[in-house]
Amino acid sequence: MIEIIQGSFWCACTLTIYLSSQKLHRTYGRWWSSPMLVTWAGCGILILALHANYREYLLGTNWMIWLLGPATVAFAIPIYRQQALIQKHWLLLCIGVAVGSLLAFATCWGLAAFFHFSPEIRASLLPRSVTTPLAMEASSRIGGVPELTAIFTAITGLFGAAIGESLLCFLPIRSSFARGALFGMGAHGAGVAKAREIGQEEGVVASLIMILAGLLNVLLAGLISSL
């Protein structure tokens, strides 16, 4: 009985904070008002303030984690809708995804070795530049902790979306295609949202790059783990 009450309490808290953070984000529209960051911080502070533990929190909210599966399946819709664009630019998209993933692996691996991180943390860092549901999938396959990957991925998205526009001022980029690739590969979901604000083509390219990068990472992780 107590578990049902605890579960409903945390579920209600999370949804309330999430819905109000959406209103907040519509007013301010900056990286720090992102619903993900506000809900994360809000629930975290509440858990610590009430001396609750993570297990209690999950009682009412693990259905959200489970919905990541159907949400992954839902990516079939944007892929289907953008088929014409994929067929026209498949080579550029593949190059962007390959280069981006390679850079992500190389820099993470190198820096993790430099700082002497444990293998668990290193494996959790590797897939962090792809969209969260797929990053968590990939992480668990190569010996990482999916929850840690979710945290790293979220920070990547927040940071990427926050600095993306300033980066565009420095880089000699003229095509909307490259602008979209920058956001989709560097900052996944949060980047796609930002790219949509800049332009429609940027948004579409960003979401495609994000999905393709996620697919590539999960397939690679599956291959690595089955070796």
Partner 1 sequence: MIETVSAATHQSVSIQQRGIQVIALALFCWLAQQFTAKLNWPIPGSLVGLLLLWFLLNRRMLPATWVEHGANDLLQHLMLFFVPAMLALVNRPDLFSMLGVKLLIVVFISTLAVMCGTACVVEIGFRLRND
CB of 92 to partner 1, least distance (A): 5
CB of 218 to partner 1, least distance (A): 6
Q: What totals of helices (H) and strands (E) does the chain contain, helices first? A: 11, 0
Q: Look up tokens 């190198």; give the residue.
A: 110
Rank residues 1 and 105 by Cβ distance to partner 1 and give the closer one.
105
CA distances 94 to 4, 78, 201, Å, are: 47, 17, 17
Tell me which residue of 153, 184, 155, 182 sits closest to 169, measured CA to CA.
Answer: 182
CB of 105 to partner 1, least distance (A): 9
- Listing DSSP states for 124-140 in one string gives HHGGGGS-HHHHHHHHH
Structure tokens belonging to residue 159: 């940071």
d(C-alpha 183, C-alpha 55), whole Å: 35
CB of 26 to partner 1, least distance (A): 14
CB of 34 to partner 1, least distance (A): 8
Rank residues 123 and 183 by Cβ distance to partner 1 and give the closer one.
183
CB 160 within 8 A of CB 183: yes
Rank residues 29 and 44 by Cβ distance to partner 1 and give the closer one.
44
Rank residues 1 and 84 by Cβ distance to partner 1 and give the closer one.
84
Rank residues 1 and 49 by Cβ distance to partner 1 and give the closer one.
49
